[in-house]
Structure 1
Amino acid sequence: MLTDNLLQIALGLLASALSAGFGWAARQAVARRARRRMQDFFGLRPDTEALLVVPRHMSGRENSVHRDDVLALTALAVLARECGGRVVLQAHDAVRRGLGDKTEFCVGGPVANARSAAHLRWRLPGLRVEEEPDRPTAPGVFRIGERTYRRGPDAAYVVLARLASPDDGTGAPGHPVFLVCGQTAVTNQAGAQYLARHHRELARSVRRGRGRGDADLCLLLRVVDTASYGPDVVELVADVTREALAPVAAPAGATPDEATVPPRDAALPAGAQTGDEGLRDEEPGNQEPGHEEGDAAGAVTGR
């Protein structure tokens, strides 16, 4: 009788140990899969370099950086480290390299970041960023398609884009560029935090797009009342990938090349017009007619 009881206890302990072991193995497998997907989305593997392009302070000294931009860069550096990457910082006016050889995180608009200006001209010609008439150095207006988004006292906007590397002819996937282009430094921080919190959903959208031959992604985000909430209350306005990638219309008499890329001495992009609301593959949403800044779809608060 005692022997039978001991045998049952031993079998119970063995079953518990096996169950715990299988559960641990399953959790490890899920974690490894999630990590691989995160690495695929960011184009990073252990010990690969992640380039963080540092913008200048809009109203400070030439080599100074705004505190909120530093916080944005810190959030992006944490993402790169989670993927096993090595972070390399470089000033925006010191980057002289092509795309695809390493993952790039580019922070700031075209006035504060020359690298951002180049990405907007070449990869996102449908997104124009314009200076505010009363503040010549402030990129306070986004234009995308036929819509305009102006910075106001209650909200400002930031564009978050993932740009796939150009095909180099080898068929090997390159490393993407992540562009965080905000109307203010605090909106840059909000865009970086949004990327950190929602990269899984964004990765799913990119995988769906890649199946259709389109691995680019461009989102317009609205940051609510930064004076009260800082960078923590963010609303997804729309997936504007299609509009941002579309070439700008050529003026009468212009050559085909002029229709694709704005001249380098032209006023840099002005604002943003929005297309389909939500992430790619979702139903388009309706904007209120005549509302210059557009409507936001779904608030995301800091967690």
Structure 2
Amino acid sequence: MRDVVINLLATAIAAAAGWTSQYIVRYRRILRKRSFFGVSPGAQVMLFVAKHFSSQRPQSVHRNDVATLVELATTIRESGGLPALVTSEDGHREAGRVTEYCVGGPSANPRTAAHLRIALPGVRFTPAEPDSLLPFSVGDRAFRRRPGAEQFALLARVRPSASAAPVFILAGQTALDNLGAARYLMANWRGLRKTYGNRNFCLVLGLREPSTFGADHVHLVADVSVPAFTAIAGAPEPDHEHRDEPDTAVAALDPSHHD
């Protein structure tokens, strides 16, 4: 009888130790995730979304940007935060107090345009025009899309100071590219955290064959952190019109994306 009791106690202790170990691992993981994404339990996180390019309604949002918001909001909620949507018509909010996610290029999202002017002086977007290639440049390197074959997005995290809340910018050449940037961010945040910690970064991402694969085949094209955060000598101030990217989605989107 004594041996049975001892075995039961040993089993219970082992089970409790295993559960505690798993709990600590999960808790540390969520802490790392909160730190990277700038989420505090119960704190509001602002999602600034671009206006739909071709819609006449001032608060219309492209369906691919809606999918992007879902990706971001899911991660924020899983981290204990409270996602709050802000449209381009209601973007007059203070910066640095709460974490922000800006979805869409500067022609469509005034909030993105402001952050680019202030924090990323080495980035230049061409104002959106129907049927244009919507190029953008970082430093002396230009990125021009080949519609349906190769398209690009800018993914940046800007933290004005060590104590300020971060700003994430997902600025694609089209709304589909915004979604690709979000999926890349969700799938690769651990690697980005190991590489950059709490430092600012700016990446150019590419979508391969988006006319066939949608936003699923996303790869890193270049780390442009140095030129993006460096002012271009003699460059004129960007002149961004507040319009959205054209609709280029031609394929159904798979919500899952893995490394």
State the TM-score, normalizing by the size of structure 1: 0.75
Alpha-carbon distance in structure 1 between the residues aligned to 2:3 and 2:212: 63
Aligned pairs, how many?
Answer: 243
Alpha-carbon distance in structure 2 between the residues aligned to 1:157 and 1:233: 12
Higher-Rg member (1/2): 1
- Contact 1:55/1:112 (CA < 8 Å) preserved in 2? yes
| Corresponding residue number in structure 1 for 2:110 | 114
Percent of aligned pairs sharing the same letter:
38
| Corresponding residue number in structure 2 for 1:31 | 26
Q: 1:148 aligns with which of 133, 142, 157?
A: 142
Pairing of 1:1-303 with structure 2 (within 5 A): 6-61=1-56, 62-131=58-127, 135-136=129-130, 138=132, 140-152=134-146, 153-164=148-159, 166-167=160-161, 173-207=163-197, 210=198, 215-250=199-234, 262-263=236-237, 265=239, 302-303=257-258
- Contact 1:130/1:267 (CA < 8 Å) preserved in 2? no
Change in CA separation of 1:137 and 1:54 when aligned onto 2, cut-off 3 Å: farther
- Contact 2:126/2:240 (CA < 8 Å) preserved in 1? no
Alpha-carbon distance in structure 1 between the residues aligned to 2:145 and 2:20: 50
Alpha-carbon distance in structure 2 between the residues aligned to 1:138 and 1:116: 20
Alpha-carbon distance in structure 1 between the residues aligned to 2:74 and 2:42: 14
Alpha-carbon distance in structure 2 between the residues aligned to 1:129 and 1:158: 11
Q: Kindly provide the CA deviation profile for residues 112-164 of structure 1, in whole angstroms up to 9, marking residues without a partner as x.
A: 111111111111111111147xx457562121122211110311001111110
Alpha-carbon distance in structure 2 between the residues aligned to 1:201 and 1:159: 17
**Is there any run of 5+ residues in structure 1 with no aligned partner, and where?**
1-5, 252-261, 269-300
**Partner SS state of residue 189, structure 1:** helix
State the TM-score, normalizing by the size of structure 2: 0.86
**Is there any run of 5+ residues in structure 2 with no aligned partner, and where?**
243-255
